[in-house]
Amino acid sequence: MHSDIGIIGLGVMGKSLAMNMLNHEFKVSGYNRSFSSVQELIDKGYDQFYGFNDLVSFIDSLKSPKIVMLMVPAGEPVDQMIKKILPMLSKGDIIMDGGNSFFRDSERRSVALSHEGIYFYAVGVSGGEKGALLGPSIMPSGDKAIYPIVGKILETIAAKKDGEACCRYIGKLGSGHYVKMVHNGIEYADMQLIAESVLLLKAAGYDNDHISDLIASWNQGPIKSYLLDITVNILKEKEDDHHLVDKILDVSSHKGTGKWTSLQALEQDVNVSLIQAAFMARLMSNQASLRAAFSNDSLPKITIDPKLIHQAYKLGKLIAYAQGFALYQDASDQYGYDLDLEAIATIFRAGCIIQSELLEELRLVFKDEPHIENILLADRFKSWIIDNLDALRTVGSVAVNSGIPTPIYLEAATYLNQSHAFSLGANIIQAQRDYFGAHTFKRIDVEGSYHHEWE
Ligand SMILES: NC(=O)c1ccc[n+]([C@@H]2O[C@H](COP(=O)([O-])OP(=O)(O)OC[C@H]3O[C@@H](n4cnc5c(N)ncnc54)[C@H](OP(=O)(O)O)[C@@H]3O)[C@@H](O)[C@H]2O)c1
């Protein structure tokens, strides 16, 4: 049989990716810890799928160089599985990890496996179950010399936009997982912006159907996106004549990538306040005791023109993407990842959860200025900021004054207020630092660093 690729872990993503590959005429072998998932795929009747319940026969079924793709949960399961299959592989074989692994773990695995003569590919995959089946956005990283071998499969199954595959070689080591991690951070921020917009529209007296229509009307031009698309549907969905969304508990969970992005940004000294606000908002939704003690009985009422919320969303979204891409730019230099930001914007245009027309705008910015520090500096976005800043400030202040929690809108307004400010009060901070710790300060009138005897 000699399959082109073997997939370990036939859960939600593994199964869909396997079917995507089979639909593209690749021969696929499958292994899963519990056989029922393998059987499910066998039952679908694909001629070129071979299911196994033991790892030795599974590995034996692959053609050389053997390509094994892991689609198991991040962390221990990945290390355990690598340990199990390593003795069955030969020099030159390839292990790909398509899960949401932490990029530092991927770097460690990449280095360790290179000592064994095995290539390791860290492969970010975005698009959820449907994307994996119909065409995800794929971010592969590892040894560039073997990219043609893995790229042939990955580019074939990836989403296509304007005839281009939404899969590009990202860079060395774990950079593919780094890019996927920050992608998810941006996803957290955009989701939170939409959630807060819905909350504000509810407080302004609109019902689910009306809000769905309003969001559908926003969903065009440069902010047209998958996340707005699904929100339009979510708000309309009914169960027994009631909107399902109103029956969903007001508590959100997470699987770690937003937290990793937040921590990583602190590590790099890059401000991703919107991503952090989105993550903190999820944590806050789980603060059961505080919420039980202080919760109001109903949503406050506000008077606000929905057009202002639309404008605020537009600007908030731009800032969220700007912060995420600023993190990429920094990692590109700091970690020597040498990321091609135009390529990243290109592969995010379809297939992934943050796919949006905005990515095409970003692609054009990076095409002209590959090393731009922050996309908010691009001429292309000048009027986007100027035209919507007042609306963003108004939305933030109306929400605060009415007690409606909109942390991400406030962070968005703060980020721009800080950027536009005449002063940030940082001179006071430096004076205090010098006062108690002799940390010195710079002056506006003379070059150099100075310490003052304050007492
Ligand atoms: N779901 C998404 O939208 C999405 C999108 C992008 C990336 N990802 C990432 O893709 C990876 C897989 O996610 P998924 O959604 O497909 O998860 P899933 O549906 O829960 O499937 C997990 C698979 O891994 C297997 N597995 C779990 N623990 C294992 C272990 N200790 N040893 C061996 N096999 C083990 C499971 O086997 P059993 O059937 O025996 O339990 C199952 O086949 C994760 O890293 C996830 O973060 C998910």
Judge if 292 and 315 occupy the same domain.
yes
Judge if 349 and 284 occupy the same domain.
yes
Give me the mean pLDDT over the 326-350 stretch: 97
Look at residues 155, 173, 191 and tell me which one is the last residue of a structural domain: 173
Judge if 381 and 429 occupy the same domain.
no
- Please give the number of the atom of ligand 1 that sits closest to the Cα of 37: 39
The pLDDT tens digits of the residues spanning 105-125 come to 999 999 999 999 999 999 999
Q: According to the model, what pLDDT value does residue 453 have?
A: 98
Q: Ligand 1 centre and the CA of 72: distance in Å?
A: 4
Per-residue pLDDT band for 81 (boundaries 50, 70, 90) equals very high
Here the CATH number for the domain that contains residue 449 is: 1.20.5.320
Q: Ligand 1 centre and the CA of 50: distance in Å?
A: 20
- Please give the number of the atom of ligand 1 that sits closest to the Cα of 128: 3
Residue 97 near residue 118, CB atoms below 8 Å: no
Here the CATH number for the domain that contains residue 256 is: 1.10.1040.10
Q: According to the model, what pLDDT value does residue 357 have?
A: 97
Question: Ligand 1, atom 26: nearest CA belongs to which residue?
Answer: 72
Q: Of these residues, 15, 180, 259, 317, which one is catalytic?
A: 180
Question: Ligand 1, atom 30: nearest CA belongs to which residue?
Answer: 77
Judge if 187 and 156 occupy the same domain.
no
Per-residue pLDDT band for 372 (boundaries 50, 70, 90) equals very high
Look at residues 116, 146, 173 and tell me which one is the last residue of a structural domain: 173
Neighbours of 323 (CB within 10 A): 28
Query: Rounded to the nearest 10 degrees, how much is the dihedral formed by the CA atoms of 294, 298, 300, 301?
Result: -170
Q: Of these residues, 107, 155, 187, 411, which one is catalytic?
A: 187
Question: Ligand 1, atom 6: nearest CA belongs to which residue?
Answer: 126
**28 DSSP β-pair partners:** 5, 49
The pLDDT tens digits of the residues spanning 20-77 come to 999 999 999 999 999 999 999 999 999 999 999 999 999 999 999 999 999 999 999 9
Assess whether pLDDT exceeds 90 at residue 1: no
* Cα–Cα dist 416/377, whole Å: 12
Q: Ligand 1 centre and the CA of 12: distance in Å?
A: 7
Q: Average pLDDT, whole number, for the chain?
A: 97
Judge if 293 and 436 occupy the same domain.
no
Q: Ligand 1 centre and the CA of 15: distance in Å?
A: 10
Written in H, E and C, the secondary structure of the chain is CCECEEEECCCHHHHHHHHHHHHCCCCEEEECCCHHHHHHHHHCCCCCEEEECCHHHHHHCECCCCEEEECCCCCHHHHHHHHHHHHHCCCCCEEEECCCCCHHHHHHHHHHHHHCCCEEEEEEEECHHHHHHHCCEEEEECCHHHHHHHHHHHHHHCCEECCEECECCCECCCHHHHHHHHHHHHHHHHHHHHHHHHHHHHHCCCCHHHHHHHHHHHCCHHHCEHHHHHHHHHHHCEECCEEHHHHCCCCCCCCCHHHHHHHHHHHHCCCCHHHHHHHHHHHHHCCHHHHHHHCCCCCCCCCCCHHHHHHHHHHHHHHHHHHHHHHHHHHHHHCCCCCCHHHHHHHCCCCCCCCECHHHHHHHHHHHCCCCCCHHHCHHHHHHHHHHHHHHHHHHHHHHHHCCCCHHHHHHHHHHHHHHCCCCCHHHHHHHHHHHHCCCEECCCCCCEECCCCC
Q: According to the model, what pLDDT value does residue 277 have?
A: 98
Nearest in space to 299 (alpha carbons), one of 202, 409, 195, 208: 202
| Cβ neighbours of residue 63 closer than 8 Å, sequence gap 6 or more | 2, 3, 4
Count up the domains in the chain and report the number: 3
How buried is residue 425: exposed, middle or buried, by Cβ count under 10 Å (0-12/13-18/19+)? exposed
Judge if 204 and 317 occupy the same domain.
yes
Q: Ligand 1 centre and the CA of 73: distance in Å?
A: 4
Here the CATH number for the domain that contains residue 134 is: 3.40.50.720
Per-residue pLDDT band for 304 (boundaries 50, 70, 90) equals very high
The pLDDT tens digits of the residues spanning 193-237 come to 999 999 999 999 999 999 999 999 999 999 999 999 999 999 999
Question: Ligand 1, atom 4: nearest CA belongs to which residue?
Answer: 128
* Cα–Cα dist 81/76, whole Å: 8
Judge if 95 and 217 occupy the same domain.
no
Q: Ligand 1 centre and the CA of 13: distance in Å?
A: 7
Q: According to the model, what pLDDT value does residue 58 have?
A: 98
Judge if 193 and 340 occupy the same domain.
yes
pTM: 0.96
Pocket test for ligand 1, best of 7, 10, 13 (most atoms within 8 A of CB): 13
Query: Rounded to the nearest 10 degrees, how much is the dihedral formed by the CA atoms of 98, 275, 305, 252?
Result: 70
Q: According to the model, what pLDDT value does residue 29 have?
A: 98
Q: Which residue has the tokens 């908030």?
A: 316
Residue 180 among the catalytic residues: yes
What domain range includes position 106? 5-173
Pocket test for ligand 1, best of 20, 33, 105 (most atoms within 8 A of CB): 33
Percent of the chain with pLDDT over 90: 100
Judge if 135 and 72 occupy the same domain.
yes
| Cβ neighbours of residue 79 closer than 8 Å, sequence gap 6 or more | 105, 109
- Please give the number of the atom of ligand 1 that sits closest to the Cα of 101: 45
Residue 129 among the catalytic residues: no
Assess whether pLDDT exceeds 90 at residue 259: yes
Question: Ligand 1, atom 39: nearest CA belongs to which residue?
Answer: 34
Q: Ligand 1 centre and the CA of 108: distance in Å?
A: 21
CA 3 to mean position of chain CA atoms: 32
Judge if 257 and 312 occupy the same domain.
yes
Look at residues 133, 157, 173 and tell me which one is the last residue of a structural domain: 173
Assess whether pLDDT exceeds 90 at residue 15: yes
Q: Ligand 1 centre and the CA of 61: distance in Å?
A: 22
Judge if 347 and 303 occupy the same domain.
yes
Ligand 1 pocket (Cβ < 6 Å) reads 9-14, 32-34, 37, 71-74, 77, 80-81, 99-100, 125-126, 128, 255
Give me the mean pLDDT over the 251-261 stretch: 96
Give me the mean pLDDT over the 335-344 stretch: 96
Question: Ligand 1, atom 18: nearest CA belongs to which residue?
Answer: 11
The pLDDT tens digits of the residues spanning 385-441 come to 999 999 999 999 999 999 999 999 999 999 999 999 999 999 999 999 999 999 999
Judge if 455 and 314 occupy the same domain.
no
Structure tokens at 149: 């071998």
Q: According to the model, what pLDDT value does residue 344 have?
A: 98
Q: According to the model, what pLDDT value does residue 162 have?
A: 93
* Cα–Cα dist 382/317, whole Å: 15
Pocket test for ligand 1, best of 19, 72, 96 (most atoms within 8 A of CB): 72
